[in-house]
Amino acid sequence: MTASHDETQTPDLSAIGLPQDRVNPRKLISRETAFEGQIFDVVRETFALTEGGDELVRDYMRHPGAVAIVALNEDNEILLINQYRQPVEMNMWEIPAGLLDVEGESPLAAAQRELAEETDLKASTWHTLAEFNNSPGCSTEANRIFLARGINDVAEEDLTERTDEEAEIVKRWVPMEEAVSAVLATGLHSPTANIAILATWASIHRDHADLRDPEEPWPAHKHLRESKSGE
């Protein structure tokens, strides 16, 4: 489970004094699937922190990961979508997002597809804005947030008929100042949206100097990392 050569190409932030998470797999002794679900499985792993150390057992949710999109227009308004979420029984303001559940599809391609499917929009300029692991103590779910600019409507023949919860999606362009206020007033509860809004606000005020290549390696995504290393 060591990182592949490609994954070493991300900048070494620690070299310039910035904190940086690092891939550091420990001794894996066994792995089994304890539960198979519609979207995620529950995996049980036995491992040791050090060679010959005590064996530890942990259960976690094996999740394909996801991508999310900040659609930012020329007026620095962010596109929020309202969608119902059954586990919390809430209608939530979020940003467009979707699972990495299409075999062979890159994260960027997935983001472009999800933006079109959920909002009927496309973008001419894409960058990686932020990444996070939703709940690293109990899940492998990783999320990459893209910043999409140069927004236009998709062609009429490419429109997607939305079904189930997505059929109720409501779109709203929100000025960034208002979106930040909504986060700080605890009006929004989607972690993806909250991280995206604050990261976009910071990026705007830093003249987008920290934006990253949208196709750069993603070593924090466990399953992408393992597939590249031949697991």
Q: Which amino acid is at 168?
A: E
The structure's pTM equals 0.89
95-120: pLDDT as tens digits: 999 999 999 999 999 999 999 999 99
Which residues share a beta bridge with 61? 42, 139
Domain 66-205, CATH among 3.90.79.10, 1.10.1740.10, 3.30.360.10, 3.20.20.370: 3.90.79.10
- Residue 9 to residue 45: CA distance in whole angstroms: 29
Write b or e for each residue in 69-103: b if 16 or more Cβ atoms lie within 10 A of its Cβ, otherwise e: bbbbeeeebbbbbebeeeeeeeeebbbbbbebeee
Do 165 and 70 meet the contact criterion of CB atoms below 8 Å apart?
no
Could you tell me the pLDDT band of residue 230, with boundaries at 50, 70 and 90?
low
Catalytic-labelled residue, pool 45, 166, 216, 226? 166
pLDDT at res. 146: 98
Confidence of residue 5 (pLDDT cuts 50, 70, 90): very low
228 has a pLDDT exceeding 70: no
Helix, strand, or coil (residue 82): strand
What number is the average pLDDT over the span 38-42?
88
What pLDDT score was predicted for residue 156?
A: 85
- Asked whether the predicted pLDDT for residue 59 surpasses 90, the reply is yes
- Which residue, 18, 26, 23, is CA-closest to 5? 23
Q: 85: which 2 tokens?
A: 């979420």
- Which value, in Å, is the radius of gyration of the alpha carbons in the chain? 19
29 pLDDT exceeds 50? yes
Checking if the pLDDT of 3 tops 90, the result is: no
Could you give the 3-state DSSP secondary structure of residue 188? coil
In the chain, domain spans = 5-62, 66-205
Q: Could you tell me the strand order of the sheet in which 142-153 lies?
A: 97-99, 66-71, 142-153, 121-133
Distances (CA, A) of 137 to 38, 60, 124, 141: 21, 8, 36, 10
SS (H, E, C) 113-160: HHHHHHHCEEEEEEEEEEEEECCCCCECCEEEEEEEEEEEECCHHHCC
Active site residue 166: yes
142, 218 contact by CB (below 8 A): yes
* Residue 220 scores a pLDDT above 60: yes
Query: What region, left, alpha or beta, does residue 9 occupy, with left being phi > 0 and alpha being psi -120 to 50 degrees?
Result: alpha
pLDDT digits (tens, 9 = 90+) for 147-178: 999 999 998 888 888 888 888 899 999 999 99
Report the pLDDT value the prediction gives residue 10, as an integer from 0 to 100: 64
Over the stretch 177-196, which tens digit does the pLDDT of each residue have?
999 999 999 999 999 999 99
Q: What is the mean pLDDT of residues 42-53?
A: 94
